[in-house]
Amino acid sequence: MPKTVKTASRLQGVSPSGLREFFEIGSKLAAKGVDVISLGIGDLDLPLPPFLGDAIADAFATGQTHYSSNAGIVELRQAIADRYQETYNLEYSADEVLVTCGALEGLLDTMLALINPGDRVLVQDPAFGYFANQAKLAGAEVELIPMTSSFDLDIDKFRIAFEQKPPKMVIINSPCNPTGSIASTQSVKAIVELASDYDSILISDECYEFLRFDGSPHTCAGTFDRDNVIIVNSFSKALAMTGLRLGYVIAPVNLMRPIYQVHQYNTACAPTPIQVGAMKTLSNPRAFKGIIEQHRNVLNDRRKVALESIKPIKGFTFTYEPMAGFYLFPNVEKTGMSGPEFAISLLEEKGVIVVPGDQFGVAYPNNIRISIGSAPPNRIREAAARITEFVKK
């Protein structure tokens, strides 16, 4: 055995996930009997929808537990393609859909397939930290592009970055984790056009597409340039099945071919019973829409409670109102603390987990992400009361 382990050079500049640090501290406090409230994890604490659960159970009962096609069962891929046709008037074949073990696998497959060492990749900031780190694993030089104060894509800043040195790839995320904001149609159209003009590939992560409130519209990036946009999406958030790991990538054939090749060597296929369950649910519009509506209503109730109880907290600044997903992203600078200082002290003193903004980029280090996905209204109110006490000390 070697006395020292020589880490692969591809890990240089790749940060360990700081999200887990807070959960570890929280677990230790809970083990000591502290009542810990987690507003940290991006998950929905609702049970698996019965229709979906029954479909998965039936797949097990009927022996559908073997390998599927590498790309995923064709019926599921076709159902996904049909939805994009019906919803966005975008024509994709089943061969242009790849089923993956969660959206994260699809993202990594895509970056490993299309990025060469030294390629430049632009990522909106803030964004889910895995985007930048996965691009770095593929050897990219990553530049983070700050969003506007209302957390829309800042097209002027993107344009300057394109003009300085055209990137190989651009990664955007709407609805956005960690902000809960939705990119405007104008900004999505503009970034797609920029990518096309400079021959750059655009990845659009749209995993929170269904969890939008008050009729807020979603703009699918593929609408503006089907042939230069890769869409990454997931069943995890919308159907409360994060632990079952099922996502998908949609791309034109010339881009899908190398992504599929990486996928073949990354995993044989996504779990077949889970694919069957998702296919039956997606193929039943009444069941699918009913599940989405139920989950959206639960989250919207929590969002309203969070805004009523958290937004007035002294020292918190909101420059926008979240319209999708699980998240609030307030600035806490007026409390006299940075995001990391606030999050660590709050957890240690009051047993409330939030995530500092520096886990999502560099532009908003004095913000914190508050997740309401796994906290019912009474726990949100209790957390707000503890935070209020914390900032008054």
- In contact, 233 and 209? CB cutoff 8 Å: yes
Q: Is 1 domain-assigned?
A: no
CATH number at residue 319: 3.90.1150.10
Average pLDDT of the residues in 326-333: 96
- Taking the model in full, what pTM does it have? 0.95
Number of domains in the chain: 2
Residue 374 falls inside a structural domain: yes
Q: Please check the confidence at residue 1 and state whether its pLDDT lies above 70.
A: no
pLDDT confidence of residue 29: 82
- Asked if 84 and 90 count as a contact pair (C-beta separation under 8 A), the reply is yes
| Co-location of 70 and 167 in the same domain | yes
As a whole number, mean pLDDT of residues 388-393 equals 91
In this structure, are 172 and 321 located in the same domain? no
Q: Is residue 10 part of a domain?
A: no
pLDDT average, residue stretch 336-341: 96
Tokens matching residue 149 = 């104060």
Closest CA to 257 of 221, 225, 230: 230
Same domain for 113 and 77 = yes
Write out the residue range of the structural domain in which residue 199 sits: 50-283
Residue 120, in any domain of the structure? yes
Residues 259 and 124 in one domain: yes
Output the DSSP codes for 9-75.
GGGTTPPP-THHHHHHHHHHHHHTT---EE-------SPPPHHHHHHHHHHHHTT--S---TT--HH
Structure tokens, 391: 């900032």
pLDDT tens track for 132-178: 999 999 999 999 999 999 999 999 999 999 999 999 999 999 999 99
Q: Is residue 98 a contact partner of residue 260, using CB atoms and an 8 Å limit?
A: yes
Identify whether residues 198 and 315 lie together within a single domain: no
349 Cβ contact partners less than 8 Å away, ≥ 6 residues apart: 390, 393
- For the stretch 259-310, pLDDT in tens is 999 999 999 999 999 999 999 999 999 999 999 999 999 999 999 999 999 9
First to last CA, the chain: 53
Same domain, 274 and 292: no
Q: Are 162 and 186 members of one domain?
A: yes
pLDDT in tens, 43-102: 999 999 999 999 999 999 999 999 999 999 999 999 999 999 999 999 999 999 999 999
pLDDT tens digits along 351-377 = 999 999 999 999 999 999 999 999 999
Domain match, 32 and 89 both: no
Question: Which of 283, 317, 344 is where one domain is finished?
Answer: 283
Q: Which of 143, 125, 142 is nearest to 134 (CA)?
A: 142
Residue 106 lies in a domain: yes
Domain at 273, CATH number:
3.40.640.10
Q: Is residue 7 part of a domain?
A: no
The dihedral formed by the CA atoms of 310, 313, 318 and 320, expressed in degrees to the nearest 10 = 40
Structural domain includes residue 5: no
Domain identity same for 218 and 318:
no
Q: Are residues 329 and 245 in the same domain?
A: no
pLDDT of 30 above 90? no
pLDDT at position 2 over 70: no
DSSP string, 312-334: TSTT-B-SS---BTTEE--B-GG
Which pLDDT value is given to residue 21? 74
Mean pLDDT of the chain: 95
pLDDT of residue 25: 78
Confirm whether 194 is domain-assigned: yes
Helix (H) or strand (E) holding 205: strand 201-205
Q: Are residues 117 and 140 in the same domain?
A: yes
Tell me the average pLDDT across 30-35.
87
- Dist CA 191 CA 168 (whole Å): 14
Q: Which of 283, 314, 347 is the last residue of a domain?
A: 283
Residue 226 confidence (pLDDT): 94
Instruction: Note whether 357 and 378 are same-domain residues.
Output: yes
| C-alpha 217 chain-centroid distance | 18
- The pLDDT assigned to 347 comes to 94
Q: Which domain-ending residue is among 237, 263, 283? A: 283
Mind listing the pLDDT tens digit for each residue in 234-248? 999 999 999 999 999
